[in-house]
Chains A and B, each alone.
Chain A
Amino acid sequence: MTNFYYPSGSIVHRLSAGVKLAALIIFGTLIFTVEDLAGLGFCGVFLVAFFCIAQIPLRVAYRQLKPALFLLLLIFIAQYFMVGFEIAVFVVVRFSILILAAGLVTVTTRVSEMVEAIEAGLRPLAKWVAIEKVSLAITLAIRFIPVLGEIVHEVRDAQKVRGMDRNIIAVLLPTIIRTLKMATEVAEALDARSFATLDRTRTDKQKL
């Protein structure tokens, strides 16, 4: 499966995912306190500098912004006719910077590092959240995405023979039933390997 990670081994890549996420949150908060185009320009230059340090080619950066372009264009047009050119530019530029900043975190951080950062972030909440269950859910979901894609594909092929591969119900229903059956089997296999007792062993260890 593809993802957005662009390896260049820069110092930005080597920063921990948690640091990058925290920086993104701070940057995203600060940018909303900026009230004029000059301030936004400064944020933009700041961000471009980081893209350069991270050695991200222009096309990779553009790919992060591309899905949002159409909506941003619509907003620009609406703003332009309602409140004027300057506000229209301001709003669209601010969102472009924000999307690109988030995109920078995405292209410089591996999915596995992100997942680890989430688990680390949840650790203080261990009292209320069963972290190993969250880990299991994330790992399983990532592992099963290609499998589920394959099931959707198989069901569509089977329905094609019947001339029903464009019929959404004929594709959805068998896909869902197969997914649920598979989920039940996976859960039974996990419990057979004593996943359910993991909580208890953990607490026992803590007591010791």
Chain B
Amino acid sequence: MNTKDVVYIALFAALLAGLGAVPPLTLPNIGVPITAQTMGVMLAGGILGAKRGALSVVLFLVLVAVGLPLLSGGRGGMGVFAGVSAGFLFSWVIGAYIVGLIVEQNWERLNFVWAMAATIVGGIFIVYLIGIPWLAIAAQMPFLKAFTASMAFVPGDIIKAVVSAFVVIQVKKSYPLINR
């Protein structure tokens, strides 16, 4: 890990914070409001790769934990990690890692389909795989109930995965950071 890696990790963590301050944006022609921050998690892995991407998310969560109000909606502090939905926050780390891993493995042939496979598996599947059982256990509610409650967010997440995949491809063309 050289200086460049450290700075990429730090500035991407700062970018995640910056995205939290953006009011929900809409997609052209669709009109669904999207919070930019959760997309940043898919982008961290897809742009920086597995290790650096996951570390930038860890760093971002550390900044939230030490008391900066960086989560979208101005949330932050130790309290957010004590709540029932904390599993989703922790899942971001592994999610970003998996997105990065899939992107790295398929770097040479990376096209929109591969990028989307990465953002869906890492950014949606992994996040729910960790977040839902955590919610179910923490809130002592049946797994199925936690599952159905969380499913409301899936359509929005799929749109985020599509947008992230598109951005990952564009960044690969103009400013590639993953060397394979």
The 6 tightest CB contacts between A and B, nearest first, are A106-B77, A102-B78, A114-B66, A148-B18, A140-B10, A144-B14
A interface residues, Cβ below 8 angstroms from B: 1-5, 24, 28, 64-65, 67-68, 71-72, 74-75, 78-79, 82-83, 87, 91, 95, 98-103, 105-107, 109-111, 114-115, 118, 130, 133, 136-138, 140-142, 144-145, 147-149, 151-152, 156, 166-169, 171-173, 175-177, 179-184, 186-187, 190-191, 195-196
Cβ-defined contact, B47 with A191, below 8 A: no
Within 8 A of A (CB), among B1-58: 1-4, 6-15, 17-19, 21-22, 25-28, 34, 36, 39, 43, 47, 55
- Say which residue of B21, B59, B81, B85 sits within 8 Å of A149 (CB atoms): B21
Q: Interface size for chain B: under 10, 10 to 19, 20 to 34, or 35 or more residues?
A: 35 or more
Interface of chain B, main secondary structure: helix
CB distance from B59 to the nearest CB of A (A): 6
How close is A75's CB to chain B, nearest CB, in angstroms? Answer: 5
A190 to B18, CA, bound (A): 23
Contacts of B4 in A (CB 8 A): 183-184, 187
Interchain CB contact under 8 A, B18 and A133: no
Give A142 Cβ to nearest chain B Cβ, in Å: 7
Which residue, of A72, A179, A191, A196, has the highest number of chain B Cβ atoms within 10 A?
A: A179
Highest count of chain A CB atoms <10 Å: which of B1, B14, B19: B14
Q: 1/0 per position for B137-180, CB-CB distance to A under 8 A?
A: 01111100100010000000000000100110011001101000
In the bound complex, do residue A82 and residue B145 qualify as a contact, i.e. CB atoms below 8 Å apart? Answer: yes
Are A168 and B66 in contact, CB atoms less than 8 angstroms apart? no
Residue in A closest to B1 when the chains form the complex, CB atoms: A133
Do A111 and B62 form a contact, CB below 8 Å, given A171-B25, A186-B7?
no
